[in-house]
Amino acid sequence: MKMKAGHSQQQPVVVILIVNLCFNASCQLSEQQVCKLCTGLVLKDSAVAHFCSLSAGQIDGRCCRRNDNTTDPEHIIGLDLSNCSLTHVEDLHEASTALMIDLSLNPAVNISDTAFQGFTELNYMILPGDIICPGGNISWSKVEVNAGNRICEGQKNMCNQTGQLSMTCPENSLCAPYGPGFFECSCADNYHGYKCLRKGEFPAVQVFGPLGASTVMISFLLWVTQRRKAKSL
Ligand SMILES: *[C@@H]1O[C@H](CO)[C@@H](O)[C@H](O)[C@H]1NC(C)=O
Ligand SMILES: *[C@@H]1O[C@H](CO)[C@@H](O)[C@H](O)[C@H]1NC(C)=O
Ligand SMILES: *[C@@H]1O[C@H](CO)[C@@H](O)[C@H](O)[C@H]1NC(C)=O
Ligand SMILES: *[C@@H]1O[C@H](CO)[C@@H](O)[C@H](O)[C@H]1NC(C)=O
Ligand SMILES: *[C@@H]1O[C@H](CO)[C@@H](O)[C@H](O)[C@H]1NC(C)=O
């Protein structure tokens, strides 16, 4: 495991990633496209609609948004993409503040391993029955199949799991959850003299996950000089 990867060597990767993100949607097309990924509104009587009204949120297309008086005015707390004829899910980044996501009734949906990276609030997912929960069962407190849907409930914190292949943060860094099956390690202040951030993919995704069942563990390291990801608290 490479822990102290050269800083100058890694930086281009980060820059490319950021450029990619911009081209892909989040920067230029800042309107929340994820809410318009399919027509109509959050389906009446759906779990997201119910959750939204309980949370005093507002329906906008397929999203439920709420204003928490933070700098981020109206963030997405729920996303209902059920029955949208989705075939693949790669970038739902705009909805990374969501607590609930419904992807049910989408036949043959192919979900990228990293689609929910950074979704730290996500606590309830409804998926087609044949799709496993992101990060695998190990990443959730409760997984059940009910009426043809898979329900993933209660995101687990990967930082203090016991009895797993131990993949802990390097010395002098702190571990924080980074979405189902993911954790991030951020360097303690003054370590190396600059702030750094490493995003690690929990081995469960690679070793026990459905897609990466027998693949060799790939370690996914990113170092950035600044940790600036507006987190609305
Ligand atoms: C948020 O704003 C609303 C009205 O704008 C106010 O009633 C509420 O107390 C505020 N909540 C917090 C936590 O500041
Ligand atoms: C799914 O969408 C189709 C076509 O848009 C519609 O006919 C069907 O009733 C919907 N199913 C559910 C369960 O909402
Ligand atoms: C899902 O997508 C991945 C990557 O794009 C591809 O390798 C895989 O074959 C797809 N799986 C299915 C069932 O379409
Ligand atoms: C995950 O949990 C579901 C529901 O409890 C179960 O059916 C499935 O076999 C589990 N998958 C694995 C790989 O353990
Ligand atoms: C993991 O952290 C949670 C929240 O801080 C705590 O409740 C739980 O007891 C911890 N588990 C272990 C195994 O340390």
Q: Name the pLDDT band for 177 (thresholds 50, 70, 90).
A: confident
Given this model, what pLDDT does residue 1 score? 31
pLDDT tens for 38-93 read 888 998 889 999 999 999 999 999 999 998 776 666 899 999 999 999 998 888 98
Q: Is 110 in the pocket of ligand 5 (CB under 6 A)?
A: no
| Percentage above 70 pLDDT, the chain | 59
Q: In whole angstroms, give the CA distance from residue 122 to residue 73.
A: 19
Given this model, what pLDDT does residue 43 score? 85
Among 126, 138, 140, 143, say which to mutate for ligand 4: greatest number of ligand atoms within 8 Å of CB: 143
| CB proximity list for 17: less than 8 A, separation 6 or greater | 222
185 C-alpha vs ligand 1 centroid, how far in Å? 33
| Full-model pTM | 0.71
Mean pLDDT of the chain: 71
Check: CB of residue 202 under 8 Å from CB of residue 157. no
Please name which of 73, 111, 79, 109 lies closest in space to residue 95, comparing C-alpha atoms.
79
Given this model, what pLDDT does residue 198 score? 57
Q: In whole angstroms, give the CA distance from residue 78 to residue 41.
A: 12
pLDDT tens for 85-114 read 999 888 898 999 999 999 999 987 899 888
Please name which of 51, 48, 112, 116 lies closest in space to residue 83, comparing C-alpha atoms.
48
Given this model, what pLDDT does residue 33 score? 86
59 C-alpha vs ligand 4 centroid, how far in Å? 33
